[in-house]
Structure 1
Amino acid sequence: MKILALTNLFPTAWDPLRASFNRQQFDRLARFHDLEVMVAVDFRERRRGPRGAPPVLEYARTSDFTFWYPPRIGRSLHGLAWYASLLAQRGARLRRERYDLLFASWGYPDAVGTARLARTLDLPYVVKVHGSDLNVQANHRLRRPQIASALRGARAVIAVSDALAGKARELGVDEDRVHLLYNGVDSERFHPGDQAAARRALGLPLDAPLILYVGNLKESKGCLDLIEAFPAVLARHPRARLAFVGGGAAGTALARRAQQLGIADRVDLAGERPHDQLPVWMQAADLLSLPSHNEGVPNVVLEAMACGLPVVATRVGGIPEVLPAHAGVLVPARDRAALGKALADALRREWSRGEILEQAGKFRWDDNVRRLDRILRDSAGPPSLP
């Protein structure tokens, strides 16, 4: 089939490290279909200029368009602005191409704009939802009906967690059109390794317990909760270290708070790292922590388990679906005291790496893409009779 994927969740020269999960999934899907990924680039990012090289893909093709919208106001108009931006810049080519299916990845504004485009081109479409597109965006009064309409009009809605699948059904999507499809892990890249060798490669102490955070540095990901919880860990593990791998607006606040707490010498702000450098950080660590306030199913949890790491995370979104007690600990979101205790306890606990790896083995990209392929093929055919 000829498929056009439309999303903001894909790496570009303006954001090279964005959404590695979609890069991995879409490039694998393109082994079976003629797949073009058209990426919405925020006009502010475009003005700032490229930050690196675009992704190197083996099978998929990529293009982009600039997403223009009124900043700070009019969020309820972003679906229309997304569609208008796309049509103004790429409309002629989109009308010439003979696509079989449109595939939107993200609920708002991407799915809302894609629904409009599908009506314009008279094409079926599928939507994949990820987390805060339904957990947050769909809670806004003027956005919720737009998202609900876009999902109800899709031939299929793919949710990366059962919790999100439930939210799609709450928005009125028929049960038989909602599909649960967890993301996968590249086991050739993410696997256990020699901890001492990984620490030497990163210049980290060989004998200090290491807690690792990987992700965007923003408040909703719980990184500020983690820095506040870390002194409780040091009270029981005085040599422990905390490493943040990622970039974002909260980076400055993290550095400042580490200084204020007197723990700056125990905190490493490693900055953004390419996806292929994450395994060595996971192999160097003793556990991964992701204390998010809301989530779908973050791939970093699956990748950490594939490296044999236990995970301390929050009981939000789809995380409880993939993180059993033998692979990690769940705590309430925003509960810094519970987080500190769980981290300290987890560093003392004897974990079974074999059981963690067995859990991680349930999430494979090959299985994921085979199921996705079936969903998309079924969705491109004639609509089912009521």
Structure 2
Amino acid sequence: MKLLVLTNLFPTPWDPLRGMFNRQQFERLGRRHELHVLTAVDFRDRLRKRRGSVEVPGLRTDHFVFVYPPRFGRALHAACWLLSLLLQRGWRLRTAGYDGILASWAYPDAVAAGWLARLLGIPYVVKVHGSDLNVQATHALRRPQIAASLRGAAAVVAVSRALAGKAVALGADPARVHAIYNGVDAARFAPGDKADARKRLGLDIAADPLLLYVGNLKESKGCLDLLEAFATMAASCPQAQLVYVGEGTCRAALAARAQTLGLAARVHLAGAMPHAALPDWFRAADLLCLPSHNEGVPNVVLEAMACGTPVVATRVGGIPEVVPAHAGRLVELGDRAALADALAQAAAQAWDHAAIAEHARGFSWDSNIDQLDAIMRQAARNEAVAEVLR
């Protein structure tokens, strides 16, 4: 088939590390179909300097600039998204002859993609990830737009059962909602020697424990909660260290707070890292910590477990579905004292790292692509039958 992917979650020259889970999935789907990935780039990002290039084997990738009124009118963003797309790529879209659209992210992407699909007379499938339903769909003027896009989709793909339930609650037909967990590249993410990994990364060999956070440095990911919990734990663990891998708006706040707490020498802001570099960070760590405020199923959790690293995280979204008791500890959202206790207890626990890695191997990209492929084929087949009947 010839498929169009519309999303904001994919690497661009202005953000080469964005949406790596989508890159992995679409690259594999592109081995089975002709896949064109068209990524929305926020106009503010487009004004910044390019930070790299994007070349994905087997995919045709391109971008368009998403222009919208900043700071107000969020309910109009889907209309702005579609207008931006049509003005910049409209002729190509009308003449390409696509068999279907896969829209990855509910708002504004999937809402606009649904309107485009109707203009082109082709089916569309919506893939939802987490805060696109957990947060965006809580707003009064966005919720009905998201609900309509889910109802009109040939299928809805959710990255967790919890998120699939949210889609059904918004009105999506339960028979057309599918929970498909993302996969892990088992050839890349696998257990390895902790000391060797620390040496390669230039980390303190004696850190005990070494806690790791991987992700965007923003408040909703719980990075500030983690620092406060670490401060409590660090008082009784003089060798403990915390490393943040990632960039974001909270970087300066984290650095300042660590200084205030007297932990500047024990809290390290390593910056963003290429996806290929992450396995050593997971192997070097004693724990991965991700106290997010909302989630679908974060791939860093799956990838850490694939390296045999236990996880301490919040009990939100699909995280409880993928982190069993033998692979980590879960705490309630917003309870920093419980988070500090969980970190201390997990650091002292003897974990079966081989069993953790074996559990993570159950999250396979091959299985993920088999399921997504079948869904896209069924959507196109149903549209072909409907066309004959018309």
Q: TM-score, normalized by length of structure 2?
A: 0.97
Distance 2:350 2:382 in 1: 54
The gaps in structure 2 that reach 5 residues or longer are none
- What's the counterpart of residue 101 of structure 1? 100
Partner of 2:72: 73
Matched with 2:218 is: 218
Alignment match, 1:183: 182
Residue 367 of structure 1 corresponds to 367
1:313-332 mapped onto 2 (5 Å cutoff): 313-332=313-332
Give the Cα separation in 1 of the matches to 2:121 and 2:235.
Answer: 62
- Residue correspondence of structure 1 range 294-373 to structure 2 within 5 A: 294-373=294-373
Q: Map 1:171-210 to 2 at 5 A.
A: 171-208=170-207, 209-210=209-210
Matched, 1:115 2:131: no
Aligned ranges for residues 120-269 of structure 1 at < 5 Å? 120-208=119-207, 209-269=209-269
Match of 2:22 in 1: 22
Q: Which residue does the alignment assign to 1:8?
A: 8
Amino acid at match of 2:134: N
Q: CA deviation at 1:323?
A: 0.4
C-alpha separation between the residues in 2 aligned to 1:116 and 1:2? 19
Once residues 123 and 204 of structure 2 are traced to their aligned partners in structure 1, the CA distance between those partners, rounded to angstroms, is: 55
Q: Displacement, 1:34?
A: 0.3
Structure 1 counterpart SS, 2:172: coil
C-alpha distance in structure 1 between counterparts of 2:270 and 2:382, whole Å: 51
**Alpha-carbon distance between aligned partners in 1 of 2:120 and 2:14, rounded to the nearest angstrom:** 29
* Residue 291 (structure 2) pairs with residue 291 (structure 1): yes
Quick check: 354-363 or 157-166, which moved more? 354-363
Amino acid in structure 2 at the alignment position of 1:99: Y
Alpha-carbon separation, structure 1, partners of 2:317 and 2:106: 16
Counterpart of 2:365 in structure 1: which amino acid? W
Q: CA deviation at 1:291?
A: 0.2
Checking the alignment, whether the CA contact within 8 Å between 1:232 and 1:344 is kept in structure 2 is no
Residue identity in the other structure for 2:344: A
- What's the CA shift for 1:91? 0.4
Give how far 1:25 is off: 0.2
- State the percentage of identical aligned residues: 64
Amino acid aligned to 1:317: G
Cα offset, 1:296, TM superposition: 0.4
Give the whole-Å Cα distance in 2 for the aligned partners of 1:81 and 1:247: 28
Name whichever of 155-164 and 194-203 sits farther off. 194-203
How many residues are matched?
384
1:205 Cα shift?
Answer: 1.4
Query: How far off its partner does 1:53 sit?
Result: 2.1
* Whole-angstrom CA distance in 1 between matches of 2:235 and 2:358: 33
Structure 1 counterpart of 2:103, which letter?
A
When normalised by structure 1's length, the TM-score is: 0.98
The match for 1:50 is 50
How far residue 128 of structure 1 moved from its aligned partner, in angstroms, is 0.1
**Displacement after TM superposition at 1:236 (Å):** 2.7
Corresponding residue number in structure 2 for 1:82:
81
In 2, are the aligned partners of 1:124 and 1:155 still within 8 Å (CA)? yes
1:354 positional shift: 2.1
Deviation at 1:58?
1.5
SS in 2 for 1:188: coil
Aligned AA (1:284): A
**Residue 361 of structure 1: how far off its partner (Å):** 1.2
Summarize deviations over 1:299-318 as a string: whole Å, max 9, x none. Answer: 00000000000000000000
What is the RMSD of the two structures over their aligned residues, measured on CA atoms? Answer: 0.9
Residue type matched to 2:307 in 1? C
1:63-98 deviation digits (Å, cap 9, x = unpaired): 110000010000000000000000011001111110
Mapped contact 1:155–1:379 kept (Cα < 8 A): yes
Q: Counterpart amino acid of 1:141?
A: A
1:269-301 deviations in Å (ceiling 9; x for gaps): 000111111111111110100000000000000
Q: Distance in 1 between the 2:307 and 2:6 partners?
A: 32
Describe the SS at the equivalent of 2:47: helix
Cα distance between partner residues in 2 of 1:53 and 1:374: 31
Distance 1:267 1:186 in 2: 29
Compute the displacement of 1:119 (Å).
Answer: 1.0
Secondary structure of the corresponding residue to residue 294 of structure 1:
coil
Residues 214-255 of structure 1: CA deviation (Å, up to 9, x unaligned): 000000000000011112221232101000000000000000
Partner residue in 2 for 1:62: 61
